[in-house]
Structure 1
Amino acid sequence: MVRSTAREIAVRLSYELSFTDLKAEALLDQTLTPDYFRNLVQEDVLYAELPGEKQSAYIRKLVCGVAEHGAELDSYIEKYAVGWKFERIPLVASAIMRVAMYEILYMPEIPNAAAINEAVEIAKKYEDEKVVAFLNGILGSFVRQECGE
């Protein structure tokens, strides 16, 4: 499994945290299983390959990190979503931005430009062009202001 696929799975699980009472670890334990992937592969090729040890660890780090730092990440989204109320931002777009911002803030081994580019590519699959541009603008402003790039 390539990292971009693992990242997209992490986005989906981060999104799912918005709708479940499960904690991040419990959700991950429930979903990162051969049975879960086998059941979903018919509906979505994203689940064609079970993540290996390295990619599972990466997915876990992202999902648990987003859950742990959710309030902080949401405050950054709100800060840079000029003219938008947080509640108005599509939930998938919020999940994508949370994952990207977590990578930027807490995973220095991932280049900021790569985190943003991957977020934009994922957003193109789920959101319309205006939301993709909006997301790209928020992440770009975030990196320029918070990371000095």
Structure 2
Amino acid sequence: MTRSNARELAVHLIYSRSFTGEEPETALEARLDKAYYAALSQENEVYAERPSRKQLAYLDQVVVGTANRAQELDETIQRYSIGWDLSRISRLTRAILQLALFECQWVEDVPVGVAVNEAVTLAKKYDGDDAGTFVNGILRSFLRGQEQAGTEAPSQEEAPQEAPAP
């Protein structure tokens, strides 16, 4: 399984938790159950290959991490989504934003530019072109805010100004 597929699977898990409220460890265990996973492979190519140990560790880190920091991530989304109340943002777009913001801040082996580009791609795939533009705008604003605040901001090479169209 590629990291991109693992990221997409993570979005599915974060999104499903927004409905079920289940603990992240429970969601991971249930979704990665061999029989359940095999059934999902008939519906979505993301499930065609099981995650490697490395991708399982990534999934655990980001699914548990976004759950543990959900309030902080939502506050960040709210801060940078000017004119949009959090309740107006689709749960799927919110899950994508939570994951991307978590990766940008706490996943060291994911370049910021990759997190942004893949978030935009996932938003377009699942929620339409407007969602991709919205996600790109929020993440760009967040990165500019990080740079202005003097926190560890990514270099321009790691964070391209615009996400390429898929």
TM (normalized to structure 1)? 0.96
Q: After TM superposition, which residue ranges in structure 1, 4 or more long, deviate above 3 angstroms?
A: none
Match status 1:13 vs 2:10: no
Q: Which residue of 2 aligns with 1:38?
A: 38
- Would you say how many aligned residue pairs link Structure 1 and Structure 2? 149
Q: Which runs of 5+ in 2 are unaligned?
A: 148-152, 155-166
Give the share of equivalent positions with the same residue, in percent: 42
Aligned equivalents of 1:125, 1:70: Cα separation in 2: 23
Report the CA distance between 1:32 and its aligned residue: 1.3
Structure 2 letter corresponding to 1:130: D
Whether the 8 Å contact between 1:37 and 1:47 is mirrored in structure 2 is: yes
Whether the 8 Å contact between 2:62 and 2:103 is mirrored in structure 1 is: yes
**Which has the bigger relative contact order, CA under 8 A and spacing at least 6?**
1
Aligned equivalents of 1:26, 1:129: Cα separation in 2: 32
SS in 2 for 1:82: coil
Aligned-CA RMSD value: 1.1
Q: Which residue of 2 aligns with 1:77?
A: 77
Report the CA distance between 1:46 and its aligned residue: 1.3
TM (normalized to structure 2)? 0.86
Alignment of 1:122-137 (within 5 A): 122-137=122-137
Whether the 8 Å contact between 1:120 and 1:135 is mirrored in structure 2 is: yes
Q: Which residue of 2 aligns with 1:59?
A: 59
Q: Which runs of 5+ in 1 are unaligned?
A: none
Whether the 8 Å contact between 1:112 and 1:143 is mirrored in structure 2 is: no
Q: Which has the higher helix share?
A: 1
Aligned equivalents of 1:87, 1:21: Cα separation in 2: 17
Aligned equivalents of 2:135, 2:14: Cα separation in 1: 16
Match status 1:50 vs 2:58: no
